[in-house]
Structure 1
Amino acid sequence: MSKARTLFGGLVGLLITTTADARDCARTGTTSPAELHREWIMTGWEKRTGDAPFDFKTKLGKYYDWSSTDVLLYDDLAPERRMARSAEAYGAMWTPIFVSQREVRHAVVDGPDAIIGGELASSTLEFAARLEAGDGRISGIRDRSTLVWRCGAEGWRIVREHNSSYPVDRAEIDRLVPVPATR
Structure 2
Amino acid sequence: MRHTNTITLLLAVASLGGLVVAAHAKSEDRTEGCAASGAASPGELHREWIMVGWEKHRGDPPFDFRDRLGRFYHWDSDDIRLYDNFDPQHRVARSASEWSEIWTGPFAALVEARHSVVDAPAVIDGGNLSATTLEFAARLETADGEIVGNRARTSLVWQCTTDGWKIIREHTSVRLVSREEIDALVPR
Per the normalisation by structure 2, the TM-score is: 0.84
Instruction: Report how far residue 175 of structure 1 moved.
Output: 0.3
Structure 2 gaps, min length 5: 1-24
User: For 1:43, what is the secondary structure of its paired residue?
Assistant: helix
In the alignment, is the contact (CA less than 8 A) between 2:30 and 2:127 conserved in 1?
A: no
Task: Give per-residue Cα distances to partners, 1:104-157, cap 9 Å, x unaligned.
Answer: 000000021100111000000000000000111101000000000000100000
Considering only aligned residues, what root-mean-square deviation do their CA atoms show, in Å?
1.5
Structure 1 gaps, min length 5: 1-14
1:148 aligns with 2:157: yes
Runs of 4 or more, structure 1, over 3 Å off, are none
Instruction: Report how far residue 19 of structure 1 moved.
Output: 3.1
CA distance in structure 2 between the partners assigned to 1:114 and 1:101 by the alignment: 31
1:63-102, aligned counterparts within 5 Å?
Answer: 63-102=72-111
- Structure 1 residues 116 and 134: alpha-carbon distance in aligned structure 2, compared to 1, 3 A threshold: same
Specify the alignment match of 2:146 in structure 1: 137
Residue 19 of structure 1 aligns to which amino acid in structure 2?
Answer: D
- Equivalences, count: 163
In the alignment, is the contact (CA less than 8 A) between 2:30 and 2:160 conserved in 1?
A: no
Task: Give per-residue Cα distances to partners, 1:51-104, cap 9 Å, x unaligned.
Answer: 010000000000000000000000001130111000010001100101110000
Instruction: Report how far residue 173 of structure 1 moved.
Output: 0.2
1:43 aligns with 2:62: no
Per the normalisation by structure 1, the TM-score is: 0.86
1:106 aligns with 2:150: no
In the alignment, is the contact (CA less than 8 A) between 2:125 and 2:131 conserved in 1?
A: yes
Higher Rg of the two aligned structures:
2
Instruction: Report how far residue 24 of structure 1 moved.
Output: 2.4
In the alignment, is the contact (CA less than 8 A) between 1:84 and 1:90 conserved in 2?
A: yes
In the alignment, is the contact (CA less than 8 A) between 1:56 and 1:91 conserved in 2?
A: yes
